[in-house]
Chain A
Amino acid sequence: MNKGLISGLVLLVIGLVCGVLLAFVNSLTAPVIQENADRIVLESLGEVYEGASNYKLTEVAGTGNVVKVFYLNDKTSDETIAIIYSVKAEGYQSTVSMLIAIEMNSSNQYVVAGYKVVSQGETSGIGDKIVGYDFKMENEVITNLATFDAVAGATFSSDAVRTCFELVGLRVAADFGGAQS
């Protein structure tokens, strides 16, 4: 047989052995790497939903301005305890991004468990007041924006936040499995 071909086959065999070895190591380390990544995400989600790290995380890509949806499920029953939405909306001069946590209360209503403006580039001293501002939405039903308290003098920026809540309100029931809103 051609000597060059045999050398090529030797290289192929070595490559295959290395590939199998890598697949084996990957099967051992991939779950740990995923677990570490989930833990980091859960720690940051803990800022909008206390105790987030006690649940099993499932991350799903969103649609449109709902960037991502994080399902927090019970580790044993797999029941969805809360859903955290990463949403965005256009403000006065930038895109406002928020995390909004929703859970179901005892009356089977979807209430806001926590929220946070995670990034914005609004006008300094006016629009940027939306960071850390109490929009009076905590524990309120997500579809009821009557209690929403806008930042005085920052209408566009506040509207962006309001839009974020509205976006969540539109899909939350379906995400929870279509239960009563």
Chain B
Amino acid sequence: MNQKQNFLKGIFKENPLFVTVLGMCPSLAITTSLENAIGMGIAVFFVLVLSNLIISLITVNPKMKELVKPVRIPVYIVVIATLVTIVEMVLHAYLVDLYNSLGVFIPLIVVNCIILGRAEAFASDNKPLDSVVDGVGMALGYTLALMIISFFRELLGSGLITIWGAKSANPIQLNLIPVFEFIGIEPINMFIKPVGAFLTLGFILAVLAAIANKKATKMASEVKQA
């Protein structure tokens, strides 16, 4: 597998949320707003890339790998917990609003199976550069998936998407309220609630499955014709 494939697999083929369906609990909880999704994505990006790099550096030497093998899960947890705590402290100090809105889900990144999964399945068996590329791809895939879910939830649930509204004088906004008014309905508040998270994810997974099925059927018919 070349670096391009290694990078892209995290975004498309092995997307942590839409394909392997990992780390669902925090993902569904924090996607109430696009701003939260971006914040969580950045936090996971930092932790995933660095944990992949550090674990790969620890296990790159065969002798060291053999020594670490019996205690590898505690080692992964120590490394990941350290990185998550650093992210938590930095957010608490410099991005208080984001820290407050992500709440308990920041420390819970420690037990996010995407990070532990990549450490065990990829970083511990591959070179540091490959592990970093894998981490970047997976983190971007995760962030994009969070952004897609939160985009639909916030837009349908409140009719208005605001990014960095508290910090900036000119926040980025997408206002759909006039459309709701034109149709004569209120924003569908249910999408901001937990049920909206499951519905949105369900719809997205159904659309992706339909596309994949269509592709598979097309490929099968092409093979038959050949």
Known: A15-B78, A22-B85, A26-B89. A36 touches B96 (CB 8 A): yes
0/1 string, A152-167, CB within 8 A of B gives 1: 0000000000000000
A32 close to B93 (CB less than 8 A): yes
Query: Are the C-beta atoms of B67 and A29 separated by less than 8 Å?
Result: no
B82 sits at the interface (CB 8 A): yes
Known interface pairs A15-B78, A18-B78. Does A25 touch B68 (Cβ–Cβ under 8 Å)?
Answer: no
Interface centre among A4, A6, A25, A30, by most B CB within 10 Å?
A25
Within 8 A of B (CB), among A6-22: 6-8, 10-11, 14-15, 18, 21-22
**What's the Cα separation between A20 and B75 when bound, in Å?**
16
Residues of A within 8 A of B94 (CB): 29, 32
**A134 to B105 Cα, complex, angstroms:** 45
User: When the two chains form their complex, are residues B86 and A33 in contact, meaning their CB atoms are under 8 A apart?
Assistant: no
Q: Are A33 and B82 in contact, CB atoms less than 8 angstroms apart?
A: no
Flag if B86 contacts A8 (CB, 8 Å): no
Selected from A7, A18, A28, A30, the residue in CB contact (under 8 A) with B70 is A7
B93 touches A33 (CB 8 A): yes
Q: B90: nearest residue on chain A (CB-CB)?
A: A29
Which of A6, A14, A25, A26 sits near B78, CB closer than 8 Å?
A: A14
Partner of B86, one of A14, A15, A21, A30: A21
How many of chain B's residues touch chain A, expressed as a range?
Answer: 20 to 34
B74 within 8 A of A: yes
Q: A18: which B residues are within 8 A, CB to CB? A: 78-79, 81-82
Q: Are B90 and A25 within 8 A (Cβ)?
A: yes
Q: Is the CB of B92 within 8 A of A29?
A: yes
Bound CA–CA A127/B68 (angstroms): 68
Interface string of B56-95 (1 = CB under 8 A from A): 0010000010011111001100110110011001101110
Residue in A6, A28, A30, A33 whose CB lies within 8 Å of B67: A6
Cβ of B78: which chain A residues have Cβ within 8 Å of it?
11, 14-15, 18
Asked whether A22 lies within 8 Å of B86 as measured between CB atoms, the reply is yes
Q: Is the CB of A11 within 8 A of B71?
A: yes
CA distance A173 to B68 in the complex (A): 64
Contacts of A26 in B (CB 8 A): 89
Q: How far is the CB of A27 from chain B (nearest CB, A)?
A: 10
State A8–B70 Cα separation when bound (angstroms).
9
- Complex CA gap A25/B89 in Å reads 8
Contact across chains for A4 and B70 when beta carbons are under 8 A apart: yes
**Are the CB atoms of A29 and B70 closer together than 8 Å?**
no
Closest Cβ of chain A: how far from B104's Cβ, in Å? 17
B53 CB, nearest partner CB in chain A, Å: 14
Question: B89 to A10, Cβ gap below 8 A?
Answer: no
Q: What's the Cα separation between A6 and B64 when bound, in Å?
A: 10
Q: Once the chains are docked, how many angstroms separate the CA of A76 from the CA of B58?
A: 50
Q: How far is the CA of A11 from the CA of B96 in the complex (A)?
A: 33
Given A14-B58, A22-B82, A22-B85, CB of A7 within 8 Å of CB of B92? no
- CA–CA, A21 to B84, complex, Å? 12
Q: Could you tell me the distance in whole angstroms from the C-beta of A25 to the nearest C-beta in chain B?
A: 5
Task: Scan A73-107; emit 1 where CB is below 8 A from any B CB, else 0.
Answer: 00000000000000000000000000000000000
* Bound-state Cα–Cα, A10 to B55, Å: 13
List residues of chain A with CB within 8 A of the CB of B67: 3, 6-7, 10
Residues of chain A at the chain B interface (Cβ within 8 Å): 3-4, 6-8, 10-11, 14-15, 18, 21-22, 25-26, 28-30, 32-33, 36
Additional A-B contact list (20), CB under 8 Å, known A14-B75, A36-B96:
A6-B67, A7-B67, A7-B70, A10-B68, A10-B71, A14-B78, A14-B79, A18-B78, A21-B86, A22-B82, A22-B85, A28-B93, A29-B92, A29-B93, A29-B94, A30-B89, A30-B93, A32-B93, A32-B94, A33-B89
